[in-house]
A and B are shown apart, each in its own frame.
Chain A
Amino acid sequence: DIQMTQSPSTLSASLGDRVTITCRASQSISSWLAWYQQRPGKAPKLLIYKASILESGVPSRFSGSGSGTEFSLTISSLQPDDFAIYYCQQYDNYSLTFGGGTKVEIK
């Protein structure tokens, strides 16, 4: 199975901050990488797919980049709704695997 490693596991930031979350794959997955946001008690929500394509309706402050084994999710200016857990996920092959998650919390 492809292992997905996210860092950091927790990120403390303030409103308006620019934050970046990193995701590393144990082998190349080309651009088959998605990012999800999960708020407490809710189902995950798709933010970005194919490494950099913004899902419809997702604010433009979210962006994704990378290919191969190194990927990142950036929030350009943190808003109140953005305090949540973020997961990366590879869909290059099965078993589909997720990163361990990054909790973005209020500083």
Chain B
Amino acid sequence: QVQLVESGGGVVQPGKSLRLSCAASGFDFSGYGMHWVRQAPGKGLEWVSLIWYDGSNKDYADSVKGRFTISRDKSKNTVYLQMNNLRAEDTAVYYCAREGKWEMTSGGIKGVFDYWGQGSLVTVSS
């Protein structure tokens, strides 16, 4: 069965860095795009970042562009989110999610979040 397990969350001071990991199992990791989605306490869902199935393309929300970097290691079936220069407003539960049900269209690959990890809490506070 598909499993996504996040790790690396914790409490960090503003301006510091943290790296989240998401270990995937139960499916062909190299065949799927992977995303990070976050949820601030008591708030809604916010898409953060995407990495294509082969790592050739990455995209970021404007709120994290230039500070966060997504990457993946196919030998470890793991996707990472390197978060630098953290701010209080980055405090959230961070979920990794698989991009499934995808279709190739003239407008690019279109897929949804068909599997999610359990989430990893990141708290940015002095």
Contact = CB atoms under 8 A, between A and B. Distances in A.
Determine the interface band of chain B, counting residues with CB < 8 A from chain A: 20 to 34
Interface string A49-92: 11001010000000000000000000000000000000101011
A1 B65 CA distance: 15
Q: Interface residues of A: mostly helix, strand, loop or mixed?
A: loop
Interface stretch (B8-16, B19-27, B72-80, B116-124): B116-124
A87 B119 CA distance: 17
A34 B112 contact: yes
Interface residues of A, number: 26
Contacts of B118: 43
B101 A44 contact: no
Contacts of A45: 116
A95 B47 CA distance: 7
Contacts of A98: 44-47
Q: In the complex, which of the residues A87, A95, A101 has the most CB atoms of chain B within 10 Å of its own CB atom?
A: A95
Interface of B: 35, 44-47, 50, 59, 61-62, 95, 100-101, 107-108, 110-114, 116-119
